[in-house]
Amino acid sequence: MRRYLTRKILTYLLAFFIGVTIDWGIPRLMPGDPIQAMLSKFSLQSASYTAQYNLFAKTFGTNLPLWQQYLNYWKGMFTGNLGLSVWAPPAHVTTLIFSALPYTLALLIPAVTLSYLALLVPYLFGIVWHVFPLSHAYAQGLLPAWNWTFISSLLNHWFLPFLTLFIVSVGGWAIGMRNLVIYELENDSSRYMRALGANERVVRRYAYRSASLPQLSGLALALGVVIGGSIVTEVAFQYPGLGTLIFNAVTNNDFFLLQGIFIFMVIGVLVANFVIDLVYLAVDPRTRLSMQGATA
């Protein structure tokens, strides 16, 4: 058990290091200068532009050598300081992420875990029957607060994008599980159990447990990336989650905000997969046997 967990932890730490490095590097390979994009919104004279550019470069740390920016990124990540946002200055990246995170989790976690009809849902419930609103996370003019007016508006706006994601997801999970169970019922191990006289109910139970293993892996990936939000759904419904935040960061060339969101996605994928690895120990006897063999 100790060797298994140690090997898994070391593997995930290596993956985390690679993921953080890629997360830091890719935005900096994107074309364009985020500070220039921000200053282009203002009409500045040449001297004022140069002074402002140098000031913002020092503020955002882009005037430093790349190796120092890389080390500062690691330091900021462990201290919870992912820098300032170019898109919404002077807001901190972590503040923007944590303000959008509850909306994304509330929308996507139920849709993933419970999961051409999805196209009809907003049309019927929003346009034809006017049951639910088609955009935003709550009614315009309201401010987030712990009162029934805001909560009821929040739930009313949440339901339609949630139902859309749920309908899309549930079909894929059901079809995938059906195909895996059929494969397990027809493979050699099931035939061998029947030849030994095993009850069909027992065969089906073992087939279902074996078929659930790939589904658990898929669930780990789905739950891991859920923190990144659903860009298409959130932008379409003007829902203020992380998907919309990613869209705004890309369109405004805000790679500080992008790398902050992506590091949350990296951590989410790794944590979800590590949890599923632990679940495998309880679900799959072959994992426990291989561990016993490794430590024998």
| Cα–Cα distance, 75 to 94 (Å, whole number) | 14
Q: For 216-233, how does the pLDDT look when each residue is reduced to its tens digit (9 = 90+)?
A: 777 666 665 565 556 777
pLDDT at 288: 59
| Cα–Cα distance, 215 to 177 (Å, whole number) | 7
pLDDT at 229: 58
pLDDT at 91: 82
Q: Where are the alpha helices (DSSP H) in the chain?
A: 2-29, 34-39, 46-60, 66-79, 93-114, 120-122, 148-186, 188-195, 200-225, 231-236, 242-251, 255-283, 285-295
pLDDT at 286: 64
Regions of the chain where pLDDT drops below 50: 116, 294-296
Question: Residue 264, Cα to own-chain centre: how many angstroms?
Answer: 8
pLDDT at 289: 59
pLDDT at 20: 86
pLDDT at 296: 40
Distance between first and last Cα of the chain: 11
Going from N- to C-terminal start, the domains of the chain cover 12-295
Q: Where are the alpha helices (DSSP H) in 115-147?
A: 120-122
CB under 8 A, 24+ apart: contacts of 146-155: none
Q: Quickly count: other Cβ atoms within 10 Å of residue 93's Cβ.
A: 26
